[in-house]
Amino acid sequence: MENGSANELKDNEPTQNNDHQPTSDTSSTTEENVQTDSICSYNDAKKYWSNVSPTVDGMLGGFGAISFIDIRGSEQFLKHLYKLKPAPGRKRALDCGAGIGRITKNLLVPFFEQVDLVEQDEQFCQTARAELADCGPKLGTIFNAGLQDFTPEQGRYDIIWVQWVLGHLTDQDAVQFFIRCTKGLARGGMMVIKENFTSSNIVDVDRQDSSVTRPLAVMKQLLKEGNMRVVKEQRQTSFPKDLYPVYMLALRPIIKN
């Protein structure tokens, strides 16, 4: 799951992705008072992704053609973060919901001395190892785990990149994950989330892959509860118009650990 919310890119239809970009799905519904713990079944999501092809197109829910635009937008955003003061370091990054390593290979490896990955699907982990074999010492550890169970090493990462995967976490698990990430950041470090968001104030539900697509305001509230504040926000441009709005949010802890 580059994992995550990419499965559903289509607005007004469910979205999900593990770098998983959202695809359209007729099983999607919109619900005003969604209880994410009743929607986000980790076992069902794991089963869904176990049947997805370990390719860029598979990771992006059939939207593999947007990968180049996606990476370029992320690259520009990341470069802007290094103009802020204090800027993050460039030693270690963490790719969360890394799928087959698309983001690690094309975005993070050129920026950082070493990149770790977290991915719950073992087949995707194996493909990532093969795809990133020529990265040498720049490839760090590949953790085979879901984000709901993962705890980053304290003070290790200059950038924690989380893309198209938070739709698989319940609200409570997302908040706890954010709290753990605040502790995993190095001095001056940042967390970046890049996700699909609904264009209304209603949560979109994809029962096929057990994910939700939240409104931006809902995500910001979860981030606040998770001790994260937004320091830079930007919408991804040049995606097809029928896809969900995608935003990049750069985050720092509200209260430093």
Binding site listing for S-adenosyl-L-methionine: 97, 102, 147-148, 163
**256 token code pair:** 């430093």
Task: Please give the annotated binding residues, written as ranges.
Answer: 97, 102, 147-148, 163
The residues pairing with 94 across neighbouring beta strands, listed in sequence order, are 116, 160
Pairing of strands 17-18, 3-4: antiparallel
The C-alpha R_g of the chain, in whole angstroms, comes to 16
What's the rounded Cα separation, in Å, for the pair 92 and 144?
Answer: 18
What's the rounded Cα separation, in Å, for the pair 225 and 4?
Answer: 21
Could you give the maximum distance between any two Cα atoms of the chain, in Å? 48
DSSP letter assigned to residue 215: B
Q: How far apart are the first and last CA of the chain?
A: 30
SS3 246: strand
The residues pairing with 142 across neighbouring beta strands, listed in sequence order, are 117
Residue 59 identity (one-letter amino acid): M
- Return the HEC string of 148-205: HHCCCCCCCEEEEEEECCHHHCCHHHHHHHHHHHHHHEEEEEEEEEEEECECCCCEEE
